[in-house]
Structure formats: C-alpha cells, structure tokens
A and B are shown apart, each in its own frame.
Chain A
Amino acid sequence: MVRNIVILGGNSHPKLVESVCAVLGIPQCNRVLGKFECGESRCEIKDSVRGKDVYIIQTGFGGNGAKLNDHFMDLCIMISACKTGSARRVTAVLPLFPYSRQPDLPYNKAGAPLFKAPSENGKKEYTFESVPATPGPGQPKSATLSNGANGADITSRLLKTSLANGNGPQSPPATSKVNGDTYFANGVNGHHHSDSTSSQGLFTKHDYENLSLVSAFQAKPGYKHWVAQAGTLVANLLTCAGADHVITMDLHDPQVQGFFDVPVDNLYGRPLLKRYIMQNIPNYKDAVIISPDAGGAKRATAIADSLGVDFALIHKVDSSGHLLERRPTKITERQNASMMLVGNVADRVCILIDDIVDTGNTITRAAKLLKKEGASKIYALVTHGVFSGDAINRINASALDKIVVTNSVPQHEHKALFGARLDVLDISPIFAEAIRRVHHGESISVLFNYD
C-alpha cells in the first residue's frame, strides 16, 4: 500500500493501468474521460489530487475508439487538470512514447523515398517559381503566378528554365528523371541517412493513409522537401502542460531524453526480453542474437553480451558495388540484396532484437534474409508491438517462427489475430516498481540492470 499517490489512467491502455494499480495495491483515480460530440476531449477528475503525487498512464497508441492524437491531447489535458487541481507533482507515464520515431524522408508504399522525378501529369502544378527557392544575391524572385487557361503552355516553357537552372547546389528533382538509375549510382553518396534507402532498398517504416496524395506531392523545383520531426514538440508540449517528470520505456532514440527540461526515466524492456530468452528458448547459448539494422546494434549487443551469446548484424546496403554491377531481376532478389548479414547463422536459432515493430517491414525482411542464410528457427523479440497497417498479415506470412512483444501497447487484439505465434510479456511490474521508487525518492537504476 502506497500513500499519497494517485494513478490516473488514460483511455489508451486501461488494462495496463489496472495491473499497475493491482501491483501497487491502490485503486485507480476516479475520472471521466471522453469526447464531446463536437470532438473536444472532456476530462473530469473526480477524486482530490491536492498535494498528491500523480502518475498519469497513457501510451502512444491509437485505439480503443480514439486516435493517437486524441490520446495525446487527453494526456496533456489530464496533466493540466491535475496541475490546476494543486497536485504536488505530475508524472507522465508513457510506456510507448508517441512521435519518438519519425523518418527523415517520406516514404511511399513501395518504400522508395520521394526524391525521384515528378511525373508527367505533375508538370501542370509548376508555377512561375522555377528558380531555386533559396535565391542567391541579386537573383530576382519572381512572383507566383496562378495557372490560367494557358497554364500548360507556360509550364512547358518553365520546365525548360528549371532544367537550365538545374546546376545549383542541389540538383532539382526534374533532372533526376533524366538520369534515371544513374542518379542513384551517383547520388547515393550524398544521401546517407541510416533509415533512408535508394530504390533498391525498398524499406517502409510507415504506411500512409492516403497514398495518392503522397505520390502526387511535389516540392518546389530546387527545394528538397523534408518532413517535420515532432519529437521535440511532443516533449515541449508535455512540459508545457505541466508534467514534472516523464517515465517511458525503450525510447527509439535515447536522445529524446535530451529534449526535455524535466527528468526522464527511460526504463528498459531488455531484462524482460533476456529472461524470456533464458526461460523459453531451448539451447539459447547456441543461438545468435541479431540486430535487424545498424541503429539497433547497441541494444542487441547488450543482450548478447550479458547472455554470452553470439551476435550478428543485418545492415542495409545502399551503395555496395556488386549491387550495381548485376542488376537484380526479381523484386524479392532486389529486396534481399539490399540487406547484408554480418555474421554466420547457418543451422542456428536466430533471435532478432528491436525496439519497435510498426508495419513489420524491417523484421520480416530480416527474417527472410536469415532463412535464406540457413537459420533453423527465427524469434523476434521487440519491446513495442504497434503492428499498424498490414503488419499482422505480413508477419503471419513471414518466416518468423515466434514474435515476442511487451504490453506497452494493448496486445489482446493482436494476440487474437496472431494466435500462438505471439507471446506477450507483462511490463506492469516494471512500471509499478518505477512508480513506487520514484514516489519514495529511491533510486530506480536497479531497474536498469537486474537479472
């Protein structure tokens, strides 16, 4: 029994809130949380929070009849309501931190970044702005011109100008069309985001709702379009709402902690995953721990080291020489050719380790590659199982024998669709213990490395 502590749950993951409360042995705070008909969130906190230590549990997951942004706004409103209700301290507990992972480049369904040439039908959208959007000194900036009836005539002439002006610092998208494949051959060097891939890469981290919009979108000639990164904003919004402390788990980028001016406790799902390996994978000492991309290598090596197990790494090859010598003929060949396995997995059990599985592209491709390299059995151990888009079908059709996730987001629906292929690990004891320790002012570092 813990005193002077209030656990307030959002709508995103009621089951986790229940089990955290059960572990702590206290009831949930009474609250009304819903939506008015106009779409505004409605929040009433029924129990007093004056002078209390309030923990608000809301995970970054859209579901339970509301969208992700609704849940996030609910969280901010609850924080603010507790603050104005004279709570002593408000801690936001976000098992999955929303917007912690945003790719730098937009992707389409096929996964190719949208820096290729504008299609023919897009030319009509060109305006008078055919000079690069960052003009040099003395360069006149033409006014915008709305497309009149003779728009097609003007644009065809303008396109020529845009090609003529194309030798700026960044070649405008129009020229890449002309170069076709050679653009990639020459252009990959200047293009080395770890997540971004050339057309041979074909990795989708996200699927979009409306793909026709994405493919129709074109930046102004000469301007390389970019995607807003909302991580800092989300951090600032939480602080602005009044959060005094944030508890989360397995942040995709640990740097997100630095976005906050308040303390952030980033818990690890690693001990849980490790325990699962030791208890459920027979002969795990002979298995290989695999990181499906270079970014997750640290996470995977930490587990491999502490278990004394071999480690291998898959990395995505954007510009390796042999890819360009021999043009891949089949799409599957192309997909696998862009991934390279470093290490040996033949006839061994493979354990893929990652922090998040969203559309499932990375791990299913990795699994395919491992199978091709002769792996006997493939497990995937992932902290956050979001499974958005067609992830479930994709994973069910893949070479993965087992996928293990935590309940940082609600998993009961996923469990029903996956059946025995999915194992869910319970994180509520970790969060309950973190809440208890933070409340009593004890160190939580023991949670980072227990066995």
Chain B
Amino acid sequence: MSAEMANEIKLISGRSHPDLSDKIAKRLGIEVARTISLNYSNQETSFTVGESVRDEDVFIIQSTATGDVNEGLMELLIIISACRTASARRITAVIPNFPYARQDKKDKSRAPISARLVANMLQTAGANHIVTVDLHASQIQGFFSVPVDNLYAEPSFLRYIRENFNPEDCVIVSPDAGGAKRATSIADHLNTAFALIHKERPRPNVVGRMVLVGNVEDKVAILVDDMADTCGTLVKAASVLKENGAKSVLALVTHGILSGSAIETLNGSVLSALVVTNTVPLGDKVERCPKLRVIDISPTIAEAIRRTHNGESVSYLFTHAPV
C-alpha cells in the first residue's frame, strides 16, 4: 500500500487560472500544492515550492491569461523545470488553452512556427506529458515527442445544446472552412443540419466578405468554433446568418480569449449568447457581457488527470462529459 501511496497526484497551480485549479482540485478531492509564484521587482518570475514533489505524479495547471501569455508561459516553464529538479516522477503540463496555437505554420517567409517553439520549450523544461483542450490544429500534437492528450469540449457542448434547445430546430454553422470538421461532428451527433460560412481574410484580425453555404431560415443557428478572440468573425457571421433568416444566433466556443474590444463588439451584436468554457480565465468579462455563458470544463480535465494518473484510458472523455 505504501508504495502506491508514495506516488500521488500533486496539483500545482500557476497564477493564470487559480479558479480552474481550485475546481479541478475539488473535483479530485485533493488540495492544490503549496507553492507560490511571484515576480521580483526586476520582473523575473520566482517560483517557491512549499512541499515535497519527490516521486510524485505532478500536474501543473496553467492557462494563458489574455494579454499575459508570455508571463504565464515562462511561469509554467519555470514550474516544470523546478519540479524536474525536485525529482518528480512524472510532470504533466495541463494547458487548457495552448498558447501560440495559431502560429503553427510557416505561412510566409521567415514566419516563426511559435507553436512548435512552445512545444520544444515545454519538453526542454522537462514536461513528460501534455493535457490540453481543443487544440487549434490537432497537428500541433506532432510537434511533441511526448504524449499529448487533446481533450474535447464537444461532449459538453452537445449536452448544452440538448439541454437548452430542440436539436431539430437547430443548424450548426461553422464560421470558416477550417472549422467545418468540428462543426460537422457536432451536427452528426445531434442529427441536425449543417451550414458553413466562407470568408476572405485580407489581414490577421481583419474580417473580409462572408458567404453563407446552406440554409438557416427559421432555425436557431449555432456557430461553433474553437476560439473567440476579437470576436470580429463571430459577430460578422452572426449578422450574415440573421440576414439569411435565422430565428436566433448563438455561438459555442471553447476558448473565450475575448481580447481587445471583444466585449463591446459582442454587446452590440445580434448574437443572443456566446457560450464559452472556462479554459481561459474570464475575469470580470461575465459581468461586463450579459450574453456570455460559461460551461465548466473542470470535470473533464479532472477526470483526465485521474485517469492519466491511474493509467486508465482517456478516450471515454472524447465522447462523454462527466457530470
């Protein structure tokens, strides 16, 4: 018994999303490890460990707070490296919203493939395993030579739709061609219609002309995407859907990054609701935006941690959301 007990889950929380860490810890019935991260006055990050992680199964939860991505990333790397030097048996970085996931290809000359850099950095620091949610491109898993568990928010979204709408009245809409796969998967599970918006994007963060492919007339149009950043795409897509006769439009998005003036854009839009998971810390955005609804993703992450620790399969979570 004692040999097994020696290897326990140690949950370490970075500074970016303590709320999620607490929820996961509560779900697992354990406490977050006693650690503290701070910045010195010269802005270097300092991480203090207050309990032993020797031979433990360490899970480090660090999301990326909007606007402070690099801070969070460096903190995560320092925590990983600290745990490795402290003889942790295995170090799993739980990064609900993988940073730099959109910089995943060399789309022009000398463009950095920052996602691969982040992957390499995590491994260099000493991560043995990565758990994340809805990677922007699942190919990012290939940047790693350690296992990556890419969890899906899809089961939670399916439940949300089933609980709040009659699937027959709904059309699942992908706001761009890249997200078609994600949206069709939800449409298939719900057995509903599917539509797609084609867009031209002249520059990053700028939305061009949009064309709807499919029929949304007198239906509840549900936009599905993996991240909502400035929300320009979503809002523009929503008005296109409204123009094409949709009864109402809502959006289901995994990562609510909501940077810049996203909240103002949302408040002034025809979207009836934006449903996000709590992979990204939302701060006061819920108060500032009455259209914002939050699905708690912590049961899925907690269950993935439990299963990873016990050496059980995680694939059940790809289709089922723990209650």
Chain A interface (Cβ < 8 Å from any Cβ of B): 36-41, 43-46, 48-49, 61-62, 67-70, 72-74, 76-78, 80-82, 84-85, 98-99, 102, 106, 127, 129, 133-134, 138, 140-141, 144, 146, 206-210, 213-214, 217-220, 223, 225-230, 232-233, 236-237, 239-241, 358-359, 386, 388-389
Contact = CB atoms under 8 A, between A and B. Distances in A.
B36 interface: yes
Interface in B83-134: 85, 99-100, 102-103, 106, 108-114, 116-117, 120-121, 123-125
A317 B259 CA distance: 51
A134 B52 contact: yes
Contact of A227 (B2, B29, B47): B47
A219 B38 contact: no
A80 B40 contact: no
Contact of B42 (A133, A227, A388): A388
Given A41-B70, A236-B124, A77 B47 contact: no
B46 A106 contact: yes
B68 interface: yes
B115 to A, nearest CB: 10
Given A37-B205, A236-B125, A220 B50 contact: yes
B5 A62 contact: no
Given A78-B112, A85-B109, A214-B36, A39 B68 contact: yes
Given A39-B66, A77-B114, A233 B39 contact: no
B70 A227 contact: no
B149 interface: no
A219 B40 contact: no
B112 A62 contact: no
B260 interface: yes
Given A140-B2, A144-B31, A214-B38, A37 B48 contact: no
B227 to A, nearest CB: 9
Contact of B51 (A37, A133, A232, A389): A133
A213 to B, nearest CB: 6
A208 B81 contact: no
A389 B40 CA distance: 9
Contacts of A133: 51-52
What are the 10 A-B residue pairs with the smallest beta carbon separation, nearest first? A228-B82, A389-B41, A219-B50, A62-B43, A81-B112, A85-B110, A68-B43, A206-B40, A39-B69, A37-B260
B36 A213 contact: yes
Contacts of B114: 40-41, 43, 77, 80
Given A40-B69, A217-B36, A233-B78, A228 B46 contact: yes
A388 B65 contact: no
A141 B2 contact: yes
B67 A388 contact: no
A72 B121 CA distance: 12
A36 B69 CA distance: 10
B45 A230 contact: yes
A40 B50 contact: no
Contacts of B102: 40
13 contacts: A37-B67, A43-B114, A61-B42, A80-B113, A80-B117, A133-B52, A206-B40, A214-B36, A217-B50, A230-B44, A236-B125, A239-B124, A388-B43
B213 interface: no
Contacts of B30: 144
Given A77-B117, A388-B42, A39 B34 contact: no
Contacts of B229: 37-38
B34 A241 contact: no
B74 interface: yes
Nearest to B50: A219
Contacts of B75: 69
Contacts of A84: 106, 110, 112-113
Q: Could you say which of A37, A48, A67, A80 has the most chain B C-beta atoms within 10 Å of its C-beta?
A: A37
Given A80-B117, A358-B41, 13 more contacts: A37-B67, A67-B70, A69-B71, A77-B114, A84-B112, A129-B51, A209-B38, A213-B38, A225-B48, A230-B44, A236-B125, A237-B124, A237-B125
Contact of A73 (B2, B31, B73, B116): B73
